Amino acid sequence: MPIERSNPPNVGAPHGYHYVVRAGSMAYIAGQVARAPDGSTVGKGDFTAQANQVFTNLKACLRAAGASADDPVKITVYMTRPQDLEEYRCIRTQYIGSEDTAPASTLVFISQLANPDFLIEIEAVAFIG
């Protein structure tokens, strides 16, 4: 089965890579940030707005791969502010599966993302049965 690469049209275009790479029944979603379809940063300084945009972008990428929000088997979350942890947990439950279908997850606090305005980035691996 060939490897398929794509970029959903409703997520700001990446430069030099693809947001979605599907290899057989596995989909690899590149780190999603608070970027609007026009490439602008959403919610500068506003964690809630950024997290919602990140999950919206993640869902668009999953759909592009033929997956749903219940299909990620692993997510990796990068955050810059520990004080946003509880808000992140509340927002995550609105987007990624239930407790029964929640993926394996790693969360790392870092000093800065690729753009200093970004507060959160999430990447995912999904199994498409």
Across the chain, where does the E strand assignment appear?
Answer: 3-6, 20-23, 26-32, 72-79, 104-109, 120-127
Averaged pLDDT score across all residues of the chain: 94
* Host domain of residue 66: 3-127
Domain tally, the chain? 1
- Residue 97, pLDDT score: 67
Identify any residues that bridge with 104 across adjacent strands, giving them in sequence order: 74
Buried b (16+ CB within 10 A) or exposed e, 72-82: beebbbbbbee
Tokens 């239930």: give the residue.
98
Query: Could you tell me the pTM of the whole model?
Result: 0.95
pLDDT tens-place string over residues 81-97: 999 999 999 999 999 86
Out of 13-17, 70-74, 97-101, 121-125, which region has the weakest mean confidence (pLDDT)? 97-101
CATH number at residue 57: 3.30.1330.40
Once rounded to an integer, what is the mean pLDDT over residues 66-78?
94
pLDDT tens-place string over residues 7-51: 998 998 888 999 999 999 999 999 999 999 999 999 999 999 999
